[in-house]
Amino acid sequence: MGAVGHDEAAECVRSVRERLVAEGVTVAGIDGRARDVFPVAIGEVEGSALRDRVVAERARETLEVGLGFGLATLFVCEGLLALGPDARHVAIDPYQHTSLPGHRTLFAGAGLAHLEEAGVRDLVELHEEESQIVLPRLLAEGRRFDLAFVDGSHRFESVFVDLVCAGRLVREHGVVFVDDAHVRSVRKAVDFCTSNLAWSVEDEGTEGAEHAWVVLRTGTADVFHRPSDEFTDF
């Protein structure tokens, strides 16, 4: 795709995500039911920070835990398209077409539909399994990423696994961008990484009462091979 083609593609992505932000509601084709995009999805302020971070890192391979309605994915794709061809985004979402126990289908394929509409479905490799299954598999396959966005389950054990695996999957001194950092379980997992893995907080932000984020800079890979009794309480 040439430069003009990339400009057109980026404009298509921008158009779709601006409409989603403005309307705040989407209708999933699978069941025809209207769904509120917010507060599940990140807002424009956080999304812009995520997109700009992708560009600043000159990321070509990105990773996301939690596709949802696809709004964060569109911001990531917008950043990737700004950097040129041959980018790739991997997203993990076990509930894109299935439901949480005891609930109706959360997204009914709406996230994928938005990617299709924006023309970036081929850019995104989706894994519809739980992240604690997919992330170790990506590690075993030797996959590497420049930036990871973590916005999956907020249970402490899930966030902990997501962050530790993401830290091993991104390049040394790469970026892990974490949503919902105001939630205690999420913040506790972040604190482990800064206290024990030598990660640093590079940026933080908030958007309303529902979303706060933190941008983490990882350290070197050898931190995962430190002495087994080396532990700092957090």
Calpha distance 73→129 (Å, rounded)? 17
Query: How much is the pLDDT for 106?
Result: 78
Query: How much is the pLDDT for 4?
Result: 43
| AA letter at 156 | F
Query: DSSP string spanning 109-160?
Result: THHHHHHHHHT-GGGEEEE-S-HHHHHHHHHHTT--EEEEEE-S--SHHHHH
Residue 177 lies in a domain: yes
* pLDDT confidence bin for 155, thresholds 50/70/90: very high
What is the maximum alpha-carbon separation in the chain?
55
Asked whether 73 and 156 are in contact (CB, 8 A), the reply is no
Domain count for the chain, please give it.
Answer: 1
Query: How much is the pLDDT for 207?
Result: 95
Residue 30 lies in a domain: yes
- pTM for the full model? 0.93
Domain containing residue 20: CATH number = 3.40.50.150
Query: pLDDT per residue over 49-97, tens digit each?
Result: 999 999 999 999 999 999 999 999 999 999 999 998 889 999 999 999 8
High-pLDDT (> 90) share of the chain, %:
83
* pLDDT confidence bin for 9, thresholds 50/70/90: confident
Residue 231 lies in a domain: no
Query: pLDDT per residue over 12-35, tens digit each?
Result: 999 999 999 999 999 977 788 899
Query: How much is the pLDDT for 28?
Result: 79
Return phi, psi of residue 19, to 5°: -65, -45
Tokens representing residue 23 in the block? 């309307």
Residue 232 lies in a domain: no
Calpha distance 198→70 (Å, rounded)? 31
Residue 193 lies in a domain: yes
Residue 141 lies in a domain: yes
| Residue numbers of the domain that contains 201 | 3-223
Residue 108 lies in a domain: yes
Residue 228 lies in a domain: no
